[in-house]
Amino acid sequence: MAVLNGSLSCFEQMDDVQFSHWTSLLEQRTGMHLPRERRSFLETSLGLRMKEIGIPDFTAYYHHLQSEKNGQQEWLTLVDRLTIHETRFFRHQPSLDFLEEIILPELFKSEPDRKKLQIWSAGCSTGEEVYTLGMLCQQFLKQHNNRAVSKPCYLAITGMDISVPALVTARKALYDQYKVRHVPEQYLEEYFVAQHNGRYQIVEALKKRVCFVPFNIIDMKKTLLEPMDIIFCQNVLIYFNRDRRKQIIQHLVKRLKPGGFLVLGAGESLNNPHPELEQISYPNALAFRRSELVS
């Protein structure tokens, strides 16, 4: 019996070679960086899953994941277990204030009769970030479209994540009472319908404006997305090493329209992340605008 974090665990311990194989596999396929200090997390997560499916040891499980028959499906389950999906509605108020006070007014100032506002939430987890952005943008668009003389502008938000189970939850758009505790009353009334079982369903009008797509942020070449006006990528880069983060930013920049905005998690400090990005100073938010003059 192994001792993990001071407690007794029935899971096998990994030797150095096994740890190195597993971390290389995870880094290669997901970009996820697991330092030595997270070894017991890896042992426990793998151990729990191996117990569920009756696989006796780490090496057998490693080979199982490479198998053509069930490996791919099992990989999706394992990735979901190893990734952290913590999220909530209205999670980071300064970034949302930045969206309302700077991004939206600026985008409509530079293109007042735009017909589309396209947003991408990269690493959207179970959808709370996507619907939060949706509610705030719909509020803005209501006012804008009332004033507009030409056709209304419509909103399209794409949420993307490597975890398929997280995306399934996001698509259901059904949240329990605890999950909606941070939603301001006004938004709760307008964008949710209370269900008999105490849960809250996002209204159809907002659901129609969003879609959720599986993707791997380190493999963005495969994503066929039009360039975006706004990209939110919050609390995702922290799981990658410095080189990967740089690579990811390069790909995100390519998917931004010239003049589009990139909003990262406030703690994800990056010095000079890209020559085409200008950092916009705003209290407690980490935000950039892509230069209008791009080659």
Ligand X SMILES: C[S@@+](CC[C@H](N)C(=O)[O-])C[C@H]1O[C@@H](n2cnc3c(N)ncnc32)[C@H](O)[C@@H]1O
Binding stretches for ligand X (CB under 6 A)? 30-31, 83-87, 91, 123-125, 129, 161-163, 166, 215-218, 234-236, 239
Q: Which is nearer to ligand X, 124 or 157 (CB)?
A: 124
Q: Which is nearer to ligand X, 49 or 114 (CB)?
A: 49
Smallest separation (angstroms) from ligand X to the CB of 295: 28
Smallest separation (angstroms) from ligand X to the CB of 205: 23
Please tell me the distance from the alpha carbon of residue 76 to that of residue 149, in angstroms, as a whole number: 48
Q: Which is nearer to ligand X, 107 or 124 (CB)?
A: 124
Smallest separation (angstroms) from ligand X to the CB of 152: 28
Neighbours of 168 (CB within 10 A): 13
Q: Which is nearer to ligand X, 194 or 238 (CB)?
A: 238
Counting every residue written for the chain, the total comes to 295
Smallest separation (angstroms) from ligand X to the CB of 242: 16
> If you write DSSP's letter for every residue of 95-145 in order, what string do you get?
HHHHIIIIIHHHHHHHSTT-SEEEEEEES-TTTHHHHHHHHHHHHHHHHHH
Smallest separation (angstroms) from ligand X to the CB of 145: 28
Q: Name the nearest CA neighbour of 230 among 280, 166, 185, 177.
A: 280
How many helices (H) and strands (E) would you count in the chain?
A: 11, 12
Smallest separation (angstroms) from ligand X to the CB of 234: 4
φ, ψ at 258 (rounded to 5°): -55, 135
Tokens of 160: 């993307």
Q: Helix or strand or coil: residue 197?
A: coil
Q: Which is nearer to ligand X, 244 or 257 (CB)?
A: 244
Smallest separation (angstroms) from ligand X to the CB of 51: 23
Q: In what order do the strands lie in the sheet with 192-194?
A: 174-175, 200-202, 192-194
Q: Which is nearer to ligand X, 85 or 254 (CB)?
A: 85
Q: Which is nearer to ligand X, 31 or 47 (CB)?
A: 31
Alpha helices in the chain (DSSP H): 16-30, 39-53, 58-66, 71-82, 93-98, 104-110, 128-147, 164-172, 185-191, 204-207, 242-254
Cβ(129)–Cβ(234) under 8 Å?
yes
